[in-house]
Amino acid sequence: MAVIVKMPQLGESIVEGTVARWLKAPGDRVDKFEPLLEISTDKIDTEVPSPATGIILEIIAPEGKTVNVGSVLAHIGEVGEQVDLASAGGPRTAQAMPEIITHNAIQNGTAAATAKPVGREFVSPVVARMAAEHQLDLAAISGTGAGGRVTKQDVLAYLERGRPTNDQRPTTNGGEVQAPTPVVKPQLSVMDLREDVAEISSPALGPDEVLSPLSTMRRAIAQHMVQSKQTSPHVVSIFEVDMTAVVQHREASKQALADKGINLTYTPYFVAAAATALRTVPDVNSRFSDAGILLNRRVHIGVAVALDQGLIVPVIRDADEKNLQGLARAVNQLAAQARQGKLAPDALRGGTFTITNHGVGGSLLGTPIINQPQAAILGVGAIVKRPVVRSSTKSLLPSADDALVIRPMCYLSFSFDHRILDGARADQFLTIIKQTLENWDRSEG
């Protein structure tokens, strides 16, 4: 019996993925555990190994298709072997699976010539579902899509206008025509919307414009950022930190760590300082719920890593239990794995606080958006030499004791959820980070 290849569970919080690339074609032989296809999710890209040895009989989910965990991707078996449709989730229709490519089609040379339905012949899954739910005759609906295709918006507009007279049913008294039944708009899921991407008309492009489709990661980032701004009332507090002690410690320590294969950057110092502050001000290591504030007992700090296609946030677990060397090693490993696309899916889950070091690109000051459902995020600006006034007195009036000195300075921006934290508590948190960095212990390592 043919083996069913299903979309795997790539992580606790990952519920769907997009088929990025098939590494095998129908008719190809594949060995068990050999890479079969690449899956792209909103958090990670990864290869999916073959669950069996055999011939690729058919590919169910084509490249670019977004599918739920557990969905059928392909079938593997031997030539002529039949697929058990019952175990594969029941019979498939051309409408539900419009791009099935089979081994026989490849052998007959028909796969490339198979044309997709176009114009009014094409009906997207969302439109078909809406038509069935409301018992609509799509032939009676004017289509505004390409080639006269009926789109989701066409169906919604038709329902809002009400059915035409010849669609209404007469009553038995006096031949009066019944009023149209009130129409309730269907509730569409995220998958419905993604299935209906074909319904979105391309914007009118100017002669010098080019449309770049959203990647899975970029779309997820956009949705997550909008959701965060809509969920949390963001407030930002900004502190300035003298990094002299940290710079001196790094200069004295980086070669010893380099001999161990560890690149000591400034990021581990900020992680260590944040971990100390999270232990002292636990409100920041929490999340909001209608029942109350949920405090996290463990400190898992996510560190944003910039990729060509977007941003990813791997998590350093129990960051408060690691010394500087351990944090530096963790930052190195997670950043390298993220850029090489080798992060384990679980490396992206469970963060309780996030740090984004936007200063690596030269940015002095930023106002980062909270990584939901966390309470806050710390933005780290570039470390630059600036003139600073130092004085032996606390008076703000000019004094003969004042001195102008050059110091490596850095701005820290702290975006927090005002439902959880007030300004005084947020400033207490930042003060601890500032004091930790400015009084860095040279013996720390």
Instruction: Dump the DSSP string for 271-315.
Output: HHHHHHHHHHSGGGSEEEETTEEEE-SS--EEE-EEETTEEE--E
Model pLDDT for residues 342-387, shown as the tens digit of each residue: 888 788 889 999 999 999 999 999 999 999 999 999 999 999 999 9
At 272, the amino acid letter reads A
Residue 401 has a pLDDT of 87
CA 222 to chain centroid = 8
Give me the domains of the chain, ranges plus CATH numbers. 3-108 (2.40.50.100), 119-201 (4.10.320.10), 233-438 (3.30.559.10)
Q: Active-site residue among 28, 31, 422, 441? A: 422
| 193, 250, 353, 410, 438 from 270: Cα distances, Å | 40, 13, 12, 11, 11
418 carries an active-site annotation: yes
For residue 265, give the DSSP letter.
-
| 444 in Cβ contact with 250 (< 8 Å) | no
How many CA atoms lie within 13 Å of 226's alpha carbon, on the beta-carbon side?
A: 6
Better-scored residue on pLDDT, 311 or 192: 311
Model pLDDT for residues 18-49, shown as the tens digit of each residue: 888 899 998 899 998 888 998 887 667 778 88
| 120 in Cβ contact with 149 (< 8 Å) | yes
Give dist(CA 183, CA 382) in Å, integer.
56
- Closest CA relative to residue 237, chosen from 376, 357, 365, 413: 413
Residue 388 has a pLDDT of 94
Q: Active-site residue among 401, 402, 418, 441? A: 418
With a pLDDT cut of 90, the percent of the chain lying above it is 47
Question: Residue 395 phi/psi, 5° resolution?
Answer: -70, 140
- Closest CA relative to residue 414, chosen from 278, 295, 220, 307: 278
Residue 305 has a pLDDT of 92
Residue 256 has a pLDDT of 94
Burial class (CB in 10 A: 0-12, 13-18, 19+), 308: exposed
224 carries an active-site annotation: no
Q: In which residue are the tokens 């290591």 written?
A: 285
For residue 68, give the DSSP letter.
E
Instruction: Evaluate if residue 5 carries a pLDDT over 60.
Output: yes
- Closest CA relative to residue 272, chosen from 312, 311, 325: 325
